[in-house]
Chains A and B, each alone.
Chain A
């Protein structure tokens, strides 16, 4: 079946530290990959996405590269801020599909 595995949290970093949140997937076919973010008290919102192998998604200083050979889509940011504290969800959807399959989410806490 299709599934997404994320590193467990919480991840606690100091401001300006480098962030990596690991995400690997299992899928039949060719998935599109997403990172969604949930800030406190808000709904999930799309952070970035990549639709084919070697594509890099980027937004708000976050990046993730679709690695087909390692079935991974790790999220990175060079310098985190307190305002990045949130829950980050890796997800996939299959070609032209309308259903998202999520990972369990990773809590990020950034200290000033």
Chain B
């Protein structure tokens, strides 16, 4: 049974039209991550939540925002998608108590975003 669920699997949005991607988890993990993966490139961390604490990566564009209303759900908001934002977006979770040395990250299947 899927433990990290991303919806939708495929999303097409118009240039400049706000879009929201969602992620839910049944693991009760306190850390949730959003990664951006462009074709043939490494997944790039955009930000993560440790409980309610939001941690933005220094090079994440302001166009990307996130919300975590509760432990189970996390959303990625792209305020004005550009053509360069077309990518696979990966959500992941971890228990976070002692970092990833002693645990593992669990990933969803990803949402492929197309910008037209």
Residues of chain A having any CB pair with chain B under 8 Å: 4, 32, 34, 36, 41-46, 49, 51, 89, 93, 95-105
A selection of 15 A-B contacts at a CB cut-off of 8 Å is: A4-B42, A36-B105, A36-B107, A42-B109, A43-B90, A43-B109, A45-B106, A46-B104, A51-B101, A89-B42, A89-B43, A93-B100, A97-B100, A98-B50, A100-B100
Q: Which of B58-116 contact A (CB under 8 A)?
A: 90, 92, 94, 96, 98-101, 104-110
- State the majority secondary structure of interface residues on A: loop
CB distance from A79 to the nearest CB of B (A): 26
The answer to whether the Cβ of B21 comes within 8 Å of any Cβ in the partner chain is no
Residues of chain B having any CB pair with chain A under 8 Å: 4, 31, 33, 35, 40-45, 48, 50, 90, 92, 94, 96, 98-101, 104-110
Q: Which of B4, B50, B94 has the most CB of A within 10 A?
A: B94
Are B40 and A98 in touch, CB under 8 angstroms?
A: no
Docked Cα-Cα span, A34 to B100, in Å, equals 10
Are A96 and B109 in touch, CB under 8 angstroms?
A: no
Point out the residues of chain B lying under 8 angstroms from A34, CB to CB: 100, 104
Are B107 and A98 in touch, CB under 8 angstroms?
A: no
Look across to chain A and name the residue whose beta carbon is closest to the beta carbon of B95: A98
